[in-house]
Amino acid sequence: MNSPLTIAVCGCGSRARTYSKIAMSLKGRYKLVAGADPNLERVNIVKATSENPDFKSFESADELLAQPKLADLMIIGTQDDYHLEPAKAALKRGYHLLLEKPAAQTIEEVIELAQLAKKYDRKIALCFVLRYTQFYSQVKKIIDEGKLGEIISIRAHEGVDPFHQAHSFVRGHWSKSADSTPMIIAKCSHDTDIINWLVDSPCKSVSSIGDTKYFQPESAPEGATMRCTDGCPHSETCTYSAYRYTTDKERWLTMVHPDPDKEKTTEEIVDWISTSPWSRCVYHCDNDVVDHQQVLMAFDNGVSATLSMTAFDAGRTLEIYGTKASLRGGDAIKNQFDTDIVLRYHHDEKLEKIIFPELENDGYEGHGGGDYGLMNELDKIIAGEASSSALIENAIEGHLIGFTAEKSRLLGGQQVKPQRA
């Protein structure tokens, strides 16, 4: 690769800005040439990041896609309900894609995109950034080296974190499945993707239960007002108080504020949240996505796996049980034992502890280094010089597990066979 990979950005939101910044930090490897978003402040941030005087700005995906092809690759960072249309149009125009996950809102649409990529001979890299973290790539390596022996079963756990749940899945963009995707896709498609990547076999059955138990009117403390900013008596003690956007949770505000980079006074923040979705009482929203869900999976190679999602914990934890050794790792292990991965060998009952070097605090620690890891491979993937782990054709099965889990949940936990046709 001698020349930089040129990029057009469709949807200059939080995720696309992160990838753009990382791209520009990888000096000389990427060039940002265009950006589109109805929110021009956001386009301007990408433009400023690009340091490209010839950067072209557009007000919508349609406007950008009406132009002749402007770049090698398009980042599609729009919301879940607006991936399919721009992705199809961009493939037709000849762009390779870096497409945010989930790829689309149904499994049929995901498969359609994979087929179109093949038809137009383009690559679609999906932002399953966890595959590029130190943690999950090390786990995969341990499995591939045979240290665990034959894998028999897996237990995965995702704690979304209560404030994150409230911000994104009660008040925010992913609170209603019909407007975006169900929780098991919007958030946990990362987890079903990772499980499938580690098991490396088609899934043959899925069952799942889950509900919205807590974020309901019945859970509201006495006297709670409809908005934190309406003089709620609990605003100083409530975990979900919107006033936290002015203190320890300001970074979440940046992700949803129309003018993210502008310095804001506390008064300006309160002013803005008081009419935005993000000060609504979490017990009185119109949310319908789950706050807890369990998924039970059986794979063709005989492996079984469980995934447990809860709003009321923080971080991912993984346990893998193999014939030679078991593996435990992730946030719970790190927090309790200051160790990233613990292997326990069955024959001598010895423990091996793996501790990773600290990630450099270069501002790219997002998703455990996964955002950086993906961007550091993307140009090589597009050039066909790096493994294609992130490509859509390798991520269909993980999506399929998620969509099947939601089907099962809506059927009250019935066992469902994934439909591949």
Enumerate the β-bridge partners of residue 98. Answer: 75, 125
Burial (0-12, 13-18, 19+ Cβ within 10 Å), 335: exposed
Closer residue to ligand NAD (CB): 186 or 327: 186
Residue 414 CB, shortest distance to ligand NAD, in Å, is 27
Task: Report angle CA 63, 68, 73 to the nearest 5 degrees.
Answer: 90
CB 85 within 8 Å of CB 105 = no
Closer residue to ligand NAD (CB): 47 or 101: 101
CB 346 within 8 Å of CB 152 = no
Residues at the site binding ligand NAD, with contacts judged by CB under 6 A: 10-15, 36-39, 42, 60-61, 77-80, 82, 100-101, 127, 129, 173, 186, 255, 367
Closer residue to ligand NAD (CB): 83 or 227: 83
Closer residue to ligand NAD (CB): 37 or 291: 37
Q: Where are the alpha helices (DSSP H) in 145-242?
A: 162-164, 183-186, 189-199
Task: Report angle CA 137, 143, 145 to the nearest 5 degrees.
Answer: 100
Residue 385 CB, shortest distance to ligand NAD, in Å, is 23
Closer residue to ligand NAD (CB): 44 or 216: 44
Residue 301 CB, shortest distance to ligand NAD, in Å, is 28
Residue 312 CB, shortest distance to ligand NAD, in Å, is 20
Angle between helices 40-50 and 14-25 (to 10 degrees): 10
Closer residue to ligand NAD (CB): 10 or 242: 10
CB 164 within 8 Å of CB 256 = no
203, amino acid identity: C
Closer residue to ligand NAD (CB): 13 or 398: 13
From residue 339, alpha-carbon distances to 85, 272, 328 in Å are 44, 41, 10
Residue 224 CB, shortest distance to ligand NAD, in Å, is 27
Residue 352 CB, shortest distance to ligand NAD, in Å, is 30
Distance CA 79, CA 209 (A): 26
Residue 38 CB, shortest distance to ligand NAD, in Å, is 5
Residue 221 CB, shortest distance to ligand NAD, in Å, is 30
Structure tokens at 323: 């014939």
Closer residue to ligand NAD (CB): 16 or 296: 16
Distance CA 93, CA 365 (A): 33
Closer residue to ligand NAD (CB): 78 or 376: 78
Residue 181 CB, shortest distance to ligand NAD, in Å, is 7
From residue 308, alpha-carbon distances to 90, 175, 344, 371 in Å are 36, 19, 23, 24
State the residue number with the nearest CB to ligand NAD.
13
Closer residue to ligand NAD (CB): 100 or 340: 100
Residue 404 CB, shortest distance to ligand NAD, in Å, is 19
Residue 391 CB, shortest distance to ligand NAD, in Å, is 15
Q: Where are the alpha helices (DSSP H) in 66-219?
A: 84-93, 107-119, 134-144, 162-164, 183-186, 189-199
Distance CA 208, CA 184 (A): 10
Q: Long-range contacts made by residues 42-48, C-beta under 8 angstroms, separation at least 24?
A: 42/12, 42/13, 42/17, 42/258, 42/260, 43/12, 45/12, 45/17, 45/260, 45/261, 46/9, 46/12, 46/16, 46/17, 46/20
Closer residue to ligand NAD (CB): 322 or 369: 369
Backbone torsion region of residue 413, taken as left when φ is above 0, otherwise alpha when ψ lies between -120 and 50, otherwise beta: left
Distance CA 404, CA 117 (A): 24
